[in-house]
Each structure stands twice: as C-alpha cells, then as structure tokens.
Amino acid sequence: MSVFDGLPPLREVIARYDIGAKKSLGQNFLLDGNLLDRIARVPGKLDGQSVYEVGPGPGGLTRALLRAGAVVTAVERDDRALPALAELSALAPGRLTVHGDDALAFDEAAHLPPGTHVVANLPYNVGTALFVRWLTAEPWQPWWASLSCMFQKEVAQRIVAAPGSDAYGRLSVLAQWRARPRIALELPPRAFTPAPKVSSAVVHVVPLPAPDGVRGPVLEALTAAAFGQRRKMLRASVRGMAGAIEALAECGIDSARRAETLSVAEFVAVARVLSQ
C-alpha cells in the first residue's frame, strides 16, 4: 500500500488550509484522482524521472506524479498552498522540492536537470506565456524532455492546428517547427473546481531536431509579423521586417497569400533565408 493512499481527500485539504481557487491566480483545481493519474501517465513512465510542475495548488497532480515514482520540483506562488505541499514532501523524502516563487521568474535551467518532463495544470493567466518560453528555449535541444500541459481547449487546438484552419497561427508554427505536439486528453468543465466556462485539454509535446540554418528569434519575429495582421496579404503584414519580401520571393512564395495559408515548412524556409 502506498503512503499516498491514506491521504485525506483534496476537498478536505482545501478546506483545512483555506486554499479555495483564486481567479486572480488563474486557478481551477482538478480533484478526481483517476483523471490526475491519467494526466501523470501522458509522458510515459516517470519512475525515477525528474518532473517539473507549475502551480500545484493543493497538490492533486503532485500526488499522482509521486504515485508514479517521479522526482518532482514544483513552483507555487500561492503561499496558502505551501503547508499542504510540505506535508506531501514529508511523505516522500527527497522526491518533492517546492519553491515558493512565480513561475514566470523561475530559472528552470538552473534548478532542473536536463531531460526533465514538464507536467502541469497550468494557471490560465500564465500558461501560454510559459509554453512559448519553453518552445523558444535556446540552445536546442531544450532542457525539457517533454511537455504535458493543461490548457483551455481553444489554446490546445491552436497548438496542434494545421494550415488553413481558423485555429492555425503563430502558436501553431512555434509549436510545430521543431517539436511534435498532440492533444492527449480532453476534460469537460465539470471536472474542475470551480468549473470554468470552457473545456480543457492536455497537450503533449516532444522536441525534435531543429531544422538546419534557422534561428529561432528570426522565426518568432516572422510569425509575429505575419499573424499580427493575419487578414492582410503577406506583402503588407511583413513589410516592416527587413528582407522579408525578398525572402518570400526567393522561396517562391506569392506575397499575395495570407499567413494562415503557409505551411510550417514554408515559414521555416523563409526564416532560413532571413537567418543568413
């Protein structure tokens, strides 16, 4: 029998420490142990593996990760949750380190070993910003071995979207040019406390080798320009970026096209020319 099997229900922990979800922190807690265990299985076997969790709150997903055998580093900015997480740490000596910090200010590379898996129910208000930071990590290969992150379903669909779809945009290109994302699990609003107004989804991302000759910041700038005015033709949306019109021509891409019609490979090709 696991030491975690006898823990009190998460609702009791939330009541005892008065850590009800705060809208200002983007918190929506997932309390169903079976669903939490399913999320912990998304990256594969975690026994002995380093895992990074952002915003553990009362520790529901943290419990699942520890049950899976992971060595967890967690960052939590809500001081109310720290005593509950300290209880979990005491039950798993050496396997749970909690930093009372803001994840946006946390230096992952300085605190986490290479090959760490990120598994997190990301707070809605910082989730996309953190995800983009991880996708644009340099040097590449990144410090993380995989990302298994909960987002609003709409954001998850943008991450995996194909060219030509309404969801396809800058986030799609940044997620797909040197990584492979997929939606691993979808969850309805009723799975959370409090229930959000939208459905959620877990996106699993595995890094791939980066295409040769492409600098990440150049691709970031190109996609920001192209999708910043996505209803306009490329000749208008990227004209403020030096060399972009010429790079489109060199790649045989009609500048009358709109950004959502370009494939990830076409964006990479243009960024390669601009990276020279």
Question: 26 versus 243: which is more confidently predicted?
Answer: 243
Q: Are 266 and 254 in contact (CB under 8 A)?
A: no
Q: Do 53 and 164 fall within a single domain?
A: yes
* Binding residue ranges: 28, 30, 55, 76, 102, 121
Identify the CATH number of the domain in which residue 121 sits: 3.40.50.150
Domain boundary among 207, 224, 244: 207
103-157 residue pLDDT tens: 999 999 999 999 999 999 988 788 999 999 999 999 999 999 999 999 999 999 9
> Is 192 within the bounds of a domain?
yes
> Is 98 within the bounds of a domain?
yes
Domain boundary among 173, 190, 207: 207
Q: Are 81 and 57 in contact (CB under 8 A)?
A: yes
48-86 residue pLDDT tens: 999 999 999 999 999 999 999 999 999 999 999 999 999
| All residues at 6 or more sequence positions from 206 whose CB lies less than 8 Å from its CB, including other chains | 145, 146, 179, 180
* Binding residue ranges for S-adenosyl-L-methionine: 28, 30, 55, 76, 102, 121
User: Cα–chain-centroid distance for residue 90?
Assistant: 28
Other residues' Cβ atoms within 10 Å of the Cβ of residue 270: 28
Q: Is the pLDDT of residue 210 over 90?
A: yes
Count of residues in the chain: 276
Q: Do 196 and 242 fall within a single domain?
A: no
Which DSSP helix (H) or strand (E) runs through 20?
A: none
Identify the CATH number of the domain in which residue 257 sits: 1.10.8.100
pLDDT of residue 123: 82
pLDDT of residue 23: 75
Q: Do 177 and 236 fall within a single domain?
A: no
Number of compact structural domains in the chain: 2
> Is 1 within the bounds of a domain?
no
Q: Do 86 and 178 fall within a single domain?
A: yes
